[in-house]
Structure 1
Amino acid sequence: MAAQSKLIDGAIKCSCQEYMHPWTASCVSGGAGILLACTPASMRTYSVVYLLALVMKMRIPRLLDIKRTIIGILTSSAFLTTNAYLFSLMVCVVRRLVGGFYMSTVAFIPTFIASIAALCIERPARRTPLALYVANEGTEALWNMLESRGLVRSIPNGHVLILGCSLTALLYMYRRGVHKSKVKDVTFKALSILMAKGEEGPIKASEAPTTQTSCLHPFNFGSIAAYVQLYDRLRNSKHPSCSHREGCGTYAIVGGLKPFLGGVGLQVGLKLLLNIGRIVKLKMDWRKQIFNKNSLQLGLALGSFSLIFKAVSCGLRITCGRDDACFAIPAGLLGSIGLLQFPNITISLYVMWKTLQMLYNWGSEEDLLPKVPHFNMLLYATFTAVLFHSAILEASSIRNSYYKFLENVSGKRINLFDRRPFESLGLKSHAQLQEVIKRLKIDMTNPLPIMPLTV
């Protein structure tokens, strides 16, 4: 009893109304308001997600596809709405249980409980992608919070290093042939497009070198024919352990050219899709949006990575006289130099978490790592809790896009949560909120959120 009394005495004495719903004294009305506000926002969000996924199939949807899309929209919308509603409810419940607020109970613990419960509504196939998405967002927010405390320090192009190491690990698994037996994932299909079949594992035993390669005559560079023969030899020669049909030089150059064209096409296509409204209104600035060097960045990154990876792999096979899955490690790390052309922290963190997931699955299949039940749900709940904590107490550490998302699904409530009672925590939460509001140009003229339910 004495320990419990000491715990309560150390709490920040702040009511639910003062912090979360200053427009109504009723916790029930506060929760019901966020439920009503989040429902249409969730429907809009997931309608776009599922319809875009339907379009990406590049075929006329069947009746079954339409039915699955509608069910998916309703299920995912119910999950997101429940998550928002339970967060509001659990903040009030936890405050009443512990007698006040602590740093962990302002957002983290209520969000963790709400996220576990809400994710039970979502389809099991969607839980892992959701966990990887919030882990991506939450990792950056967590790093920013640690950096603001001086506990870590960013290094130049650190996210490029993360992406390079992640791709190297994926390519090692690809060369080992893990994707054919242990870990089957759509990510390996993307790798097969980037690297083609020339680097696909498992590695087969190579044949002994033919006598033709050992009886090559020296060139007489006094004639033009010698240069033609040299070009032909460089273009067609390859080591017996190389599984590609063409010569190593052609293989590396063409292998870099195809991803380059694909990357440019993908980046231009996305820009056109995002600017469809301007195109229809004939207000598109083509030179600024499309015809500039930025449209080449993704293509240059993919093309140079593929070219260097394949050139180094062939070089190692020729030097060592054999093929080995371990060659993917130096080839991938050297190929990462090309990724400097397209530095993107979002892609880097997503690929990192996807790689960690696949390495974990591989390790568990080999009985090297334990299988943790519902690990994807725990991962989702943990990083969602980090994001909510960040958005409320340390708003400047969260990505602008995710804060806008939270503002949308909360019915603009997140801007109106009063952080001033928590100034004793030393995080300057109110000042950070004002900085975010100013940076995102959020309109704060209306003192009430959407669906305030002030009764």
Structure 2
Amino acid sequence: MAAQSKLAEAAYKCSCQEFVHPWTSSCACATAGMLLSLIPGTFKTYSMVYMLALLMRRRIPSLKDLGRTLASTLQSTAFLSLNGSLFVLAICLVRQFLGGFYFATAAWLPALLVSSISLAVERPQRRAPLALYVANVGIETLWKMLEARGLVRSIAKGQVLIMGASITALMYLYRAGLHRTVAKDATFKGLGLIIGREEEGPLKPSTVIIPQRSNLGSLNFRCITSYLKVYNHLTTLRHPCCPHQFGCAVYALLGGVKPFLGGVGVQVGFKLLLNITRILQQKMEWRKQIFNKGSLQLGLALGIFSLLFKMSSCGLRHSFGYDNALFAIQSGLIGSFGLLHFPNTTVSLYLMLKSLQLLYNWGVAEEKVPEVPHFSMIMYGFFTAVLCHSTVLEAKSMRPSYFKFIENISGGRLSRFNMKSFEAFGVKSQDQANYIIKKLGIVKSSSNPLFPLIV
């Protein structure tokens, strides 16, 4: 008990210099050094992001486009640089105000205080996407933190359940035509490529239509003509309410083949892009990297989902004699079995948050739910605080790639944070940080970070 009390006292009395900036005694210099370190890295990151967005327009950019791209890059650079530098300053100020460090005030509270303020610097149209991105990583991180404490337990293929339910909700909005009004979003362009424009709403009002049964007549399967009759029947059979021109069987099969080929092409292309250096050096292991089952995962997921969705949609139209946007719910859930081939947590969380956002927008438009002012800024602030807390105090719960990104743009400061005094918190923060640092192969070539501004 006495030992625990001493540990708690050491954590409380830990100075911000010992914790955040051991290379300098000045909090102002530590903040300024962080700002100077963040500017080059964030500018490089956002330059690539905005240039890629410019190239995806597939047209020669004008001087006006280039000017807007540069302005957007500078504004986003200012936002992220300000966020990181104010985080360091907030840690120092919160400690001075409270007289010491507590578990929630070492990183979570300082990040919460400055994140929403920093987001106000960013362009308004960028705030919601940023909030969704941070929430995506933050939810995964929060789950891992709870899992480490034994409060929750992951289930096998659980992300597929989330993905299936989310895509089903999006497909209902798509078939109901709400993506044209209260739920406008670029996500539906991707769904249109996968499912096709035929299933796009709003649906035309229709009455119950009972199709006339096709009379095949007597069939003699010893004769090739009978097989041709059956083939012709299957390829031309179509309910009058179906939105496609061809037979339902052809529509469903082609609807599965096209997304499959597209998904394989995207996955292979992405792998080639990531291995461009090895390809140029002629060190590419083609069989290991490209010609394997992993390259088929996305294609199989999209192809089977589209195939099952269209088969079940046509089946429901034939069964009930009319078309209805609600059919997207049953068809989406059935098609979700194809997503078992691509159990991706990041994509699942993104689709979940996107569907919740669009359903919320629909609810606000219908006056079914109240509109929360500045909801994007609130969500960004909360989940950024979760990420900062995890990155500093519970590094094992954070995505290693995100930890490395923060380490690089901060000029090597994150790996120099000293959490030895926080043993009383019981999460072994320093051991977790050392594990991630070793796992990522982070090497400290100097005793000081970039722009230390030692005084």
TM-score bin (small chain): over 0.9
Cα 1:447/1:10, change in 2 over 3 Å: closer
| 1:187 pairs with 2:191 | no
Deviation string for 1:41-93 (max 9, x for gaps)?
11111111111111212221111111111111111111110000100111111
Partner secondary structure for residue 201 of structure 1: coil
Cα 1:340/1:292, change in 2 over 3 Å: same
Partner amino acid, structure 2, of 1:417: F
Deviation string for 1:380-429 (max 9, x for gaps)?
11111000000111100000111111111221111111111111111111
Say if 2:235 and 2:247, in contact at 8 Å, map to a contact too: yes
TM-fit CA distance, 1:244 = 1.0
Cα 1:324/1:10, change in 2 over 3 Å: farther
Cα 1:196/1:403, change in 2 over 3 Å: same
The answer for the alignment partner of 1:106 in structure 2 is 106
**1:17-56 aligned within 5 A:** 17-56=17-56
Report percent identity of matched pairs: 55
**1:80-99 aligned within 5 A:** 80-99=80-99
Cα 1:390/1:108, change in 2 over 3 Å: same
Residues in 2 aligned to 1:90 and 1:57: alpha-carbon distance in whole angstroms: 40
Residues in 1 aligned to 2:328 and 2:52: alpha-carbon distance in whole angstroms: 35
Residues in 1 aligned to 2:55 and 2:290: alpha-carbon distance in whole angstroms: 23
Residues in 2 aligned to 1:112 and 1:344: alpha-carbon distance in whole angstroms: 29
Say if 2:79 and 2:118, in contact at 8 Å, map to a contact too: yes
Residues in 2 aligned to 1:284 and 1:211: alpha-carbon distance in whole angstroms: 57
The answer for the alignment partner of 2:391 in structure 1 is 391
Residues in 2 aligned to 1:447 and 1:385: alpha-carbon distance in whole angstroms: 28
**1:197-236 aligned within 5 A:** 197-206=197-206, 209=209, 212-213=212-213, 215=215, 217-236=217-236
The answer for the alignment partner of 2:3 in structure 1 is none
Cα 1:230/1:389, change in 2 over 3 Å: same
The answer for the alignment partner of 1:137 in structure 2 is 137
The answer for the alignment partner of 2:376 in structure 1 is 376
Cα 1:69/1:154, change in 2 over 3 Å: same
Say if 2:209 and 2:321, in contact at 8 Å, map to a contact too: no
- When structure 1 is superposed on structure 2, of 389-398 and 190-199 the one drifting more is 190-199
Say if 1:103 and 1:425, in contact at 8 Å, map to a contact too: yes
Partner secondary structure for residue 12 of structure 1: helix
Deviation string for 1:356-384 (max 9, x for gaps)?
11111111111111111111011111111
**1:241-320 aligned within 5 A:** 241-320=241-320
The answer for the alignment partner of 1:410 in structure 2 is 410
TM-fit CA distance, 1:282 = 2.9
The answer for the alignment partner of 1:4 in structure 2 is none
Residues in 2 aligned to 1:359 and 1:217: alpha-carbon distance in whole angstroms: 50
- When structure 1 is superposed on structure 2, of 324-333 and 284-293 the one drifting more is 284-293
The answer for the alignment partner of 2:4 in structure 1 is none
- When structure 1 is superposed on structure 2, of 199-208 and 21-30 the one drifting more is 199-208
Structure 1: 5+ residue stretches without partners: 1-7
Cα 1:11/1:288, change in 2 over 3 Å: closer
TM-fit CA distance, 1:9 = 9.1
Say if 2:210 and 2:321, in contact at 8 Å, map to a contact too: no
Partner amino acid, structure 2, of 1:427: V
| TM-score normalised to structure 2 length | 0.95
The answer for the alignment partner of 1:3 in structure 2 is none
Structure 2: 5+ residue stretches without partners: 1-7
| 1:123 pairs with 2:123 | yes
Partner secondary structure for residue 379 of structure 2: helix
The answer for the alignment partner of 1:453 in structure 2 is 453
Partner amino acid, structure 1, of 2:285: D
Deviation string for 1:243-298 (max 9, x for gaps)?
11111100100001111111111112212222222233333332222222222211
